[in-house]
Structure 1
Amino acid sequence: MANLTLITGANRGIGLEFCRQYLRHGDTVIACCRHPEQAETLQQLAEQYPSQLELVALELAEPAQFDSLSAYLGERTLDRLILNAGVYGPKGLAFGEYQPEHFELVMRINVAAPMLLTQALAANLGQGSKLALLSSKMGSITDNGSGGSYAYRASKSALNAVGKSLAIDLQARGVAVALLHPGWVQTDMGGPNAWITAEVSVRGMRHVIEQLTLVDSGTFYNYDGTELPW
């Protein structure tokens, strides 16, 4: 039986590349994004893999939709839950210019949504399931040598804390959790001058996910498998 993988933020960038690679691997993929009907590349993949790819509309800013996603899954068990979707928030703001609203959406999407979605889908996770949270090296307090980017940095540090707690709370269910830094990737967020392609980043992260065990659960990894400082 094919593995079942659910991916958020599946319409572009890293999420889309996760879909491509897991489909080629033979998985059944549930691709979630806000407007799948407008995601041309996802629609093309659905034509190419009609029996493997399921497209589901999901708005992460609306937690009421999380229970609907659980109902859609029914009694199916996810082999992999990859929570990739995220936002950067305002760019170019300097210290002294931040307002409360600059944090609200970033924290809701990058921190609250992954935790609440995992909570809603807990019944669909079981022994051997892998949960991957797409974090960032910018969430590492140890690595912060340049300051700035307050909302994004804070959200990814908070996501790391959420992931560590999930690793502890889901251990009894047999679910292993990884916090993953995808690298500086050539995407809409990373820009064209980034160091690596989405294909390279996702190939590395897939290897980390496959090697993950309960012993490693809650660890913060670079896409190449290197452990990162908190």
Structure 2
Amino acid sequence: MPSVLITGSNRGLGLEWSRQYAKASWRVFATCRHPEEADELRQLAETCRTVSLHRLDVTDADQISALANELEHEPIDVLLNNAGVYYEKYAPLEAPLDYQAWTHTFQVNTMAALRMAKTFIGNLALSEKRLVVAISSHMGSIAEIDHPGSYFYRSSKAALNAVMKGLSLELKPLNIGVLLLHPGWVRTRMGGPDAPLLPEESVRGMRKLIDEFTISNTARFFRYNGTEIPW
């Protein structure tokens, strides 16, 4: 049975990832900060024997270490760094920046993905798929910047892309791959009610890219529909 460890599983894309992988009979290690409040995820875990729910704040090194100890001997085919934050609203140039929010954005969107990957290398090495997935964004593509603003989110995702590219060079000799994915504009709490994509469609497309992944594609950056994104 293939297995996946998913961060930020309590809603939106993370919940949909958990649902689809559970339906596909994968072993799902679903994580979130407050499992006691994640009603839909708890219901999924209660009704599907292949899903387990784990407490994890990806900015908390102690919680990451505790989860690693809990899953020490478990093969993990796909480490799915899905957790992310977006704090910004448009503000005029003269408006002050919330540097604390910017720092937290980097902690969640960039630093946590590398910490998770380094922590769970041993689990990935025990598996067949051996893949680290980072949910990035086309907003992290410098080539695709076409309007001002979103400085926190853009910079955190551009940094994530750079970090994952570097990590791929470290992991390739171990035959562990890295895949960067843009889910599209999705109708979630982050994407808002006007987004054209449903989570089901976005995750279905990204799962296809994961299924088709080979080590020759390590560190490449794709949209959910398979088109490649320039850096």
TM-score where L is the length of structure 2:
0.96
d(CA) in 2 for partners of 1:94 and 1:70?
43
**How far apart are residue 94 of structure 1 and its match?**
3.3
Task: List gaps (5 residues or longer) in structure 2.
Answer: none
Picking from 54, 57, 60, the partner of 2:58 is 60
| Residue identity in the other structure for 1:55 | L
List aligned pairs for 1:3-22, cutoff 5 A. Answer: 3-22=2-21
Secondary structure in 1 matching 2:195: coil
- The aligned counterpart of 1:159 is 160
Structure 2 residue aligned with 1:91: 89
Cα distance in structure 2, aligned partners of 1:212 and 1:94: 42
Does the Cα contact within 8 Å between 1:15 and 1:84 map onto a contact in 2? yes
The answer to which of 10-19 and 63-72 deviates more is: 63-72
Deviation, structure 1 residue 125:
1.1
Q: Map residues 60-209 of structure 1 onto 2, 5 A cutoff.
A: 60-96=58-94, 97-126=96-125, 128-209=129-210
Q: Distance in 1 between matches of 2:93 and 2:9?
A: 33
Residue by residue, what CA displacement relative to the aligned partner does 1:8-36 show, whole Å, maximum 9, x if unpaired?
Answer: 00000000000000000001100000011
Which residue pairs with 1:47 in the alignment?
46
Residue identity over aligned pairs, in percent, reads 41
In the alignment of these two chains, the number of paired residues is 228
Q: Which moved more, 1:120-129 or 1:27-36?
A: 120-129
Partners in 1 of 2:129 and 2:207 — Cα distance? 15
Runs of 4+ with deviation above 4 angstroms: none
Q: Displacement, 1:141?
A: 0.4
Residue deviations 1:59-116 (CA, integer Å, cap 9, x gap): 1121221111110111111011111000012323333321422311001111111111
Give the letter for the 2:112 counterpart. A
Q: Check conservation: 1:63, 1:117, Cα contact below 8 A.
A: no
1-structure distance, mates of 2:208, 2:169 = 22
Measure the CA separation in 2 of the matches of 1:95 and 1:125. 44
Query: Which sections of structure 1, spanning at least 5 residues, go unmatched?
Result: none
CA distance in 2, matches of 1:169, 1:120: 14
In structure 1, how many angstroms separate the alpha carbons of the residues matched to 2:183 and 2:73? 31
Aligned mates of 1:80, 1:37 — CA distance in 2: 25
Query: CA RMSD, aligned part only?
Result: 1.1
The Cα shift of 1:205 comes to 0.2
Partners in 2 of 1:41 and 1:72 — Cα distance?
23
